[in-house]
A = this chain, B = another copy of it.
């Protein structure tokens, strides 16, 4: 369990207050971060899609876990007391009957149905659940988003730790990346650096390399060797105790043009511009506009669709830094600032930092990158 029970109790208390306002009798949660948010149930076993897992948070009283027997021992190590299990997979009834029993007595049941959510159970079982309950489930009215979007001090400390691990790994990139080294080898060795510096695991690594910039930022690494004049970018979402960092660093493979360094410097300026406005009361949209003004002169962003986002238990969380997101910044939000710049010829450079909003202004969680890219 990553936190003391008081942390989880506080989360449940906040959820229950919101459920009363929303007229909900219970929340039904099915995804890894939502289940873990209230229980502390932390395992990489979710990588297996086979078994569904459920947590019920009632409007009054303690949460109820409805889970496969294989998870009973681990759930019993959390603060959750009411743990109901079935031996999954069960082709006749993979937990639905048990879940229906646990939900008996609740009438207005909500589950997350908005942006960035999904229901992690087979659709046929979801329909069966609704049939057996006798009424359709409701949405959660954005309760999980509202709760998880604002981090506690304990959560911020975890994210900061993840960022520090990545800081140390990025500082060691010159050990593994030089002209002639295949990008695929850089990817492997960078993940090893992340682990060596303290990551529990490295769920996410993306990047790219190309002359003066790269063509895209989500492709897997090829075996193409780094070439003189390339910009190399590595973007990692590593995890420590269940919390992510998510930021990148750019490196020049040998000397690059002044224009390339200037493009990078402009991204740093964009982050600085966002930091200048990232105060309580500003909005996600304000951060977008501050960065977009520097990078495109206010043209409205790029194909990435946004210039940053929340992070925490997942690599990306609400809000999105887009013009349409008017979420007010409040103390405790952890965000990425992720401006990208088109450098022509179908190439770009993307830069990313992690910050936390505090009552006294924003604070970097990642060690901010210098204006000039380090030269490998």
Bound-state CA distance A322–B115 (Å) is 37
Per-residue B-contact encoding for A286-320, CB less than 8 Å = 1, 0 else? 00000000000000000111100100001110001
Q: Are B122 and A204 in contact (CB under 8 A)?
A: no
Identity of the chain B residue whose Cβ is nearest the Cβ of A88 in the assembled complex: B305
Q: Are A49 and B216 in contact (CB under 8 A)?
A: no
Bound-state CA distance A47–B244 (Å) is 11
Q: Which of A207-261 contact B (CB under 8 A)?
A: 215-221, 237
Q: Are A43 and B220 in contact (CB under 8 A)?
A: yes
Chain B contacts of A314 at CB under 8 A?
A: 48-49
Bound-state CA distance A306–B87 (Å) is 9
Q: Are B218 and A45 in contact (CB under 8 A)?
A: yes
Size range of the chain A interface in the assembly: 35 or more
Identity of the chain B residue whose Cβ is nearest the Cβ of A124 in the assembled complex: B113
Identity of the chain B residue whose Cβ is nearest the Cβ of A220 in the assembled complex: B42
Q: Are A123 and B116 in contact (CB under 8 A)?
A: no
Per-residue B-contact encoding for A186-222, CB less than 8 Å = 1, 0 else? 0111011001101111111110000000011111110
Per-residue B-contact encoding for A110-143, CB less than 8 Å = 1, 0 else? 0111111111111110000000000000010000
Q: Are A91 and B69 in contact (CB under 8 A)?
A: no
Bound-state CA distance A87–B306 (Å) is 9
- Specify how many copies of this chain sit in the oligomer: 2
Chain B contacts of A217 at CB under 8 A?
A: 70
Chain B contacts of A316 at CB under 8 A?
A: 48-50
Identity of the chain B residue whose Cβ is nearest the Cβ of A204 in the assembled complex: B47
Bound-state CA distance A112–B125 (Å) is 12
The answer to whether the Cβ of A359 comes within 8 Å of any Cβ in the partner chain is no
Write the nearest CB–CB distance from A358 to chain B, whole angstroms.
25
Q: Are B203 and A203 in contact (CB under 8 A)?
A: yes
Q: Are A201 and B200 in contact (CB under 8 A)?
A: no
Q: Which of A48-93 contact B (CB under 8 A)?
A: 48-51, 68-74, 77, 87-92
Chain B contacts of A49 at CB under 8 A?
A: 116-118, 314, 316
The answer to whether the Cβ of A155 comes within 8 Å of any Cβ in the partner chain is no
Out of B119, B303, B324, name the residue touching A118 (CB < 8 Å): B119
Out of B42, B89, B114, B199, name the residue touching A122 (CB < 8 Å): B114
Q: Are A123 and B115 in contact (CB under 8 A)?
A: no
Bound-state CA distance A139–B126 (Å) is 12
A residues lining the B interface (CB < 8 Å): 42-45, 47-51, 68-74, 77, 87-92, 94, 111-124, 139, 184, 187-189, 191-192, 195-196, 198-206, 215-221, 237, 303-306, 309, 314-316, 320, 322, 324-325, 346
Please name 19 further chain A to chain B contacts, defined as beta carbons within 8 Å, in addition to the given A113-B123, A192-B192, sorted by A numbering. A44-B204, A45-B206, A47-B315, A49-B116, A69-B303, A70-B218, A72-B303, A89-B306, A90-B324, A112-B123, A113-B122, A117-B122, A118-B119, A118-B123, A123-B139, A191-B202, A192-B195, A195-B195, A203-B203
Question: What are 6 contact pairs spanning A and B, CB under 8 A?
Answer: A44-B205, A51-B305, A70-B304, A113-B124, A187-B200, A189-B195
